[in-house]
Structure 1
Amino acid sequence: MKLYYSPGACSLSPHIALLEAGLAFTPVLAPTKTHQLPDGTDYYQINPLGYVPLLELDDGTRLREGPAIVQYIADQAPHKNLAPANGTLARYRLQEWLNFIGTELHKGFGPLFSPATPDDYKATLREKLLSRLKWVDGQLEGREWLTGEHFSVADGYLFTVCNWSKTVGLDLSAMQNLQAYLSRVGARPAVQAALKAEGLVK
């Protein structure tokens, strides 16, 4: 398999999932600014939408969209408990979290990275993101992981998105449950390995 990624982008989530699952893969750098692969290939030829992540299977099949990709990865290594079995209520709870992170958090961060976004709108976005994250903080009360006793692919996704907070001026220091949770996720060997591979930590 090949994972097309850009350092620190949302592709960090499947990068973590692949390492947690123990699956063999080749990471391929696909910078979101230049869209040029290391061999000179135009990334738009691989993914016409131009963004990461993209997972290319060994038979050439390509999967887009992080929440779909991480569930595929989890299902290749069911013994790792990265996702509950398909068809169970627990699986729908996982999907509930993946959708929430993708639509209520991930998409809210996007405009904060753009210099074209007006400052007053950025302030509104920060306020909304903080309100959503305060809700997450409450949900983490008494929980080690988002979906129960096992680390799941939703945890890797939430960690990835929350990692952008400092860059966009979002202060999470008052959210004690979330802070402790992010420390737990960040200490996992697979997470550390993904961060190092992307040059995000030494």
Structure 2
Amino acid sequence: MGKLKIAILEASMELVPKEISNHPSVVKNAKKRGKPPAHTLLDVSIHYSAMLRIRDRLKRGRPDIVHVTLLEALESPLNRKGLLEIYVHTYDGKTIFIHPSTRIPRNYNRFTGLMEQLLVEGKVPPNTPQPLLHVKNMDLQDLLKAADTAGLLLLREECARESVKNVVEKALNNNLLIGVGGFPHGDFDRKTIEAADHCYSIYDESLTTWVVTSRLISAAEYLLNLL
């Protein structure tokens, strides 16, 4: 068995899009923080009124999902043993690569600042040849190649039911990237669904991204005799 590879797909984390960068709620928040509007994260709790008319608004503006999920993943025994690779593929087509030694800020405001720096500068720390975090414009097929996987195993409510243990065992034995939705509502884009080589559901109802990720990691820790 190899490493467990997980991607948070269509993650609801992006900089404020150009079409709403002049909206009063966006401008007010940016001014308060001393940043250009386009250099701040889209957040529905702050920009709700601005987001009412943007495309796929129910899937966007929830960077807290990525925050909680990465805190869960990077603090795990699996990651500490060097047996986890986790990627973030955002709604707007960016892939965030995360070094396993990265420690994500527990404070949400500090996390927001870190992600803004990453998405603006391209890497964190910005002036280093070996960053802890770096980001690239990359579609899902390119991510699969970059992660050196044999295919995508997508977790989706509408797919056949399978146990978490069997899903993780299949991924570990066949070098598959497990895709977990990183958005609060709705479904994956058609291109994401078509890219999947395997598709399973691990529960009868919708689960949060961090709960799914936690169950995957726990199953891998059991299968790899870490617990």
Do they fold alike, i.e. is TM over 0.5? no
Q: Name the one with the larger strand percent.
A: 2
Question: In which range does the TM-score fall when normalised by the shorter chain?
Answer: 0.3 to 0.5
Q: Name the one with the larger helix percent.
A: 1
**TM-score when scaled to structure 2?**
0.31
Which of the pair has more CA radius of gyration?
A: 2
